[in-house]
A and B are shown apart, each in its own frame.
Chain A
């Protein structure tokens, strides 16, 4: 219960589709989605496999609460070996695709091999078919979504699609569902492209069964009340979205600016939530039209925006004149502060392009930023960029880069490599602000010390969603800690990592944890799923998942040397703001973290730890 108990296995090399029962013994140990699909992956692939080769697999996985009445119960994840990182990848998305997959009767789809020609998959309840994608290969996410729905005469389908970026194997390409929600990070779109798989379209007409219906309704109703009454999830997030952080993080002196050269951006207000909600000077309209919720969500933090049609970036480009997914904080930072661009309309346009072509806006923006620094230093020139004047602060250059990268045209082909490969090519790998090849998100770890440890130890490369200690260090949730101190951060990071791994395996959104703890989540899981699910057991399960991912990475060739930060963050002090004079204290935190994890000084889980966690 909660689970459907069935998975689809699609072999694209052979063109076969099989069904099989879900391993319930594994479900008890790994719950679902991130944890359970990672278990399948690590059992089935060689950790050293080429992520873009046919032997890599990718799993579209739901959690047991996906598709249920639980608030935010619409999540799914794509689990694979990441094209950008060569590490374990798990990219999580909202929208409606995950719930629809459950309604069709499936917990997950395992995709194997490589199709000899472009194809897409349809899953309509029990019926699963592989179709020729020749007519949509080369088309955008938006056009492909429309074409598939027309082709199958079903506007109710929910579709996960790669854009041209995934087809061209841009190393940070993503998978977009419902037009503007995305499994965004680590290059899962490139893996899908390498398999010649353009899309998975799903339509389901069944419900999701739970263990104890009455108890489940009671538990979910009480949990929704907590979200509603909490000032953050009940009012702050729906009204201002994640973008409200722009001024917060800037004021706190942790806003990565111009490829992390600075920690505060003078144009932050121009690209903030407050600016999105203020009428533009150009046409008197607001950038932000409304908020939007994913399936079953009672928070509704999503942004829907519309660009001024006269803005230079979209003149004569009617595909961007409609309302679509607007800026979230991570995109606004990466495309804006980190490139020095304070043009809100240009950032929104580039965000639209990322959705249209299937690019992760964090890694794209951070790669452009790194290229801007190379340009600033004279290591690349207009000759390299194909004539683009790639100065920090140039909205025109940013827009041009966005239009070239997904299509892998001109300098866009180099930008598609990601910042580490690009900077290495031009002799300055230290200018790539990344860990394990994946670019940082929107928090400078000189101003938020715990995030340095978070990034360095994240199993999927630099990521804020593996342990969002910003919540404690800046926002005071669940309790305030000092962002400039390293004391206590190893334990804080470990706790966030383990709890988040459990939430990511449930089908729920991690944003609920601004109001919920595992004490709110466990009763919902327990009422839906066979077995006993206490908060303590969920923490243990999260720790098990974290260690399983770590073991995979170690076997893939990663060592303690990869738990590191770029030299800039540990040797160049912040120039201004509260963190002025500080670097990140990773060296102080890492040994204690390994010890708390039960790992050796070399970052390897001990046999005792693995045994304790049933690994």
Chain B
């Protein structure tokens, strides 16, 4: 399917000491961009140390205009910092398109 993520280069370098493991959580309509075989809207992915939020999401083809609510370990990341904030080992990145409730 169009929205299915292509394998990341970083997914093949698990044994490289310069890689780290993070949890990627994509909710609502963004669930389609998670790697195959994921469960509960989340997947553990390996990325090169120094990967930014935007780079990880770009690697999974998450449309930029759909990255409305981006929480890193529960803390909101505004659009202006997503290209510069680097992920650390064990981080959890959760992303939603525009949603609301009450």
A-side interface residues toward B, CB under 8 Å?
230-233, 235-237, 239-245, 247-248, 251-253, 269, 273-274, 328-330, 464-465, 468, 470-471, 474-477, 480, 482-483, 510-511, 514, 577-578
User: Is B25 at the interface (CB under 8 A from chain A)?
Assistant: yes
Q: Which residue of A lies closest to B96 (CB)?
A: A248
C-alpha gap A236/B69 in the complex (Å) = 12
- For A514, list chain B residues within 8 Å (CB): 100
Contact among A252, A477, A480 with B100 in the assembled complex (CB-CB below 8 Å):
A477
User: Is B50 at the interface (CB under 8 A from chain A)?
Assistant: no
| B28 in contact with A253 (CB, 8 Å) | no
Contact among B69, B74, B99 with A578 in the assembled complex (CB-CB below 8 Å):
B74
- For A242, list chain B residues within 8 Å (CB): 100-102
- For A274, list chain B residues within 8 Å (CB): 27-28, 31, 41
User: Is B59 at the interface (CB under 8 A from chain A)?
Assistant: no
User: Is B73 at the interface (CB under 8 A from chain A)?
Assistant: yes
Known: A248-B69, A475-B69, A578-B73. A240 touches B99 (CB 8 A): yes
C-alpha gap A511/B102 in the complex (Å) = 8
C-alpha gap A239/B30 in the complex (Å) = 13
Range of interface residues on chain B?
Answer: 20 to 34
Q: Could you list 19 A-B pairs, sorted by A, with CB under 8 Å?
A: A232-B98, A232-B100, A236-B97, A236-B98, A236-B99, A242-B101, A242-B102, A243-B101, A244-B99, A248-B27, A251-B74, A474-B76, A475-B100, A476-B68, A476-B69, A477-B100, A480-B78, A511-B100, A577-B74
Q: Mark B1-31, 1 if CB is under 8 A from A, else 0.
A: 0000000000000000000000001011101
CB-based closest 4 A-B pairs? A242-B101, A231-B98, A245-B101, A578-B74
C-alpha gap A247/B96 in the complex (Å) = 10
Q: Which residue of A lies closest to B39 (CB)?
A: A269
- For B75, list chain A residues within 8 Å (CB): 578
- For A464, list chain B residues within 8 Å (CB): 102
| B102 in contact with A273 (CB, 8 Å) | no
Q: B31 to chain A: closest CB distance in Å? A: 7
- For A232, list chain B residues within 8 Å (CB): 98-100
| A244 in contact with B68 (CB, 8 Å) | no
| A236 in contact with B100 (CB, 8 Å) | yes
Q: Which residue of A lies closest to B31 (CB)?
A: A274
Q: A482 to chain B: closest CB distance in Å? A: 8
| A239 in contact with B69 (CB, 8 Å) | no
Beyond A244-B101, A273-B28, A483-B76, 15 additional pairs, beta carbon < 8 A: A231-B98, A235-B97, A236-B28, A237-B99, A237-B101, A244-B99, A244-B100, A248-B99, A251-B92, A269-B41, A274-B27, A330-B102, A464-B102, A468-B102, A475-B100
- For A245, list chain B residues within 8 Å (CB): 99-102
User: Is B71 at the interface (CB under 8 A from chain A)?
Assistant: yes
Identify whether the interface residues of B are mostly helix, strand, loop, or mixed. loop
C-alpha gap A429/B99 in the complex (Å) = 36
| B31 in contact with A253 (CB, 8 Å) | no
Q: Which residue of A lies closest to B71 (CB)?
A: A251
Highest count of chain B CB atoms <10 Å: which of A248, A464, A476, A477: A248
Q: B53 to chain A: closest CB distance in Å? A: 15
- For B29, list chain A residues within 8 Å (CB): 239
Known: A269-B40, A465-B102. A252 touches B27 (CB 8 A): no
- For A328, list chain B residues within 8 Å (CB): 101
- For A240, list chain B residues within 8 Å (CB): 28, 99
User: Is B47 at the interface (CB under 8 A from chain A)?
Assistant: no
C-alpha gap A265/B43 in the complex (Å) = 19
- For B102, list chain A residues within 8 Å (CB): 242, 245, 329-330, 464-465, 468, 470-471, 510-511
Q: Which residue of B lies closest to A441 (CB)?
A: B102
User: Is B94 at the interface (CB under 8 A from chain A)?
Assistant: yes
C-alpha gap A232/B97 in the complex (Å) = 9
Q: Which residue of A lies closest to B95 (CB)?
A: A251
| B97 in contact with A231 (CB, 8 Å) | yes
Q: Which residue of B lies closest to A264 (CB)?
A: B74
- For B99, list chain A residues within 8 Å (CB): 232, 236-237, 240, 244-245, 248, 475
C-alpha gap A344/B3 in the complex (Å) = 28
- For A483, list chain B residues within 8 Å (CB): 76
C-alpha gap A443/B45 in the complex (Å) = 30
Q: Which residue of B lies closest to A482 (CB)?
A: B76
Q: A416 to chain B: closest CB distance in Å? A: 26
Highest count of chain A CB atoms <10 Å: which of B29, B74, B78: B74
Q: A189 to chain B: closest CB distance in Å? A: 21
- For B78, list chain A residues within 8 Å (CB): 480
C-alpha gap A253/B29 in the complex (Å) = 22
| A239 in contact with B100 (CB, 8 Å) | no
| A252 in contact with B71 (CB, 8 Å) | yes
| B27 in contact with A244 (CB, 8 Å) | yes
| B74 in contact with A247 (CB, 8 Å) | no
- For B76, list chain A residues within 8 Å (CB): 474, 476, 480, 482-483
- For B25, list chain A residues within 8 Å (CB): 247, 251
Known: A247-B41, A251-B25, A475-B69. A237 touches B74 (CB 8 A): no
- For B96, list chain A residues within 8 Å (CB): 244, 247-248
Q: A581 to chain B: closest CB distance in Å? A: 13
- For B27, list chain A residues within 8 Å (CB): 244, 247-248, 274
Q: A73 to chain B: closest CB distance in Å? A: 19
Q: A212 to chain B: closest CB distance in Å? A: 32
C-alpha gap A241/B101 in the complex (Å) = 7
- For A477, list chain B residues within 8 Å (CB): 100
- For A248, list chain B residues within 8 Å (CB): 27, 69, 96, 99, 101
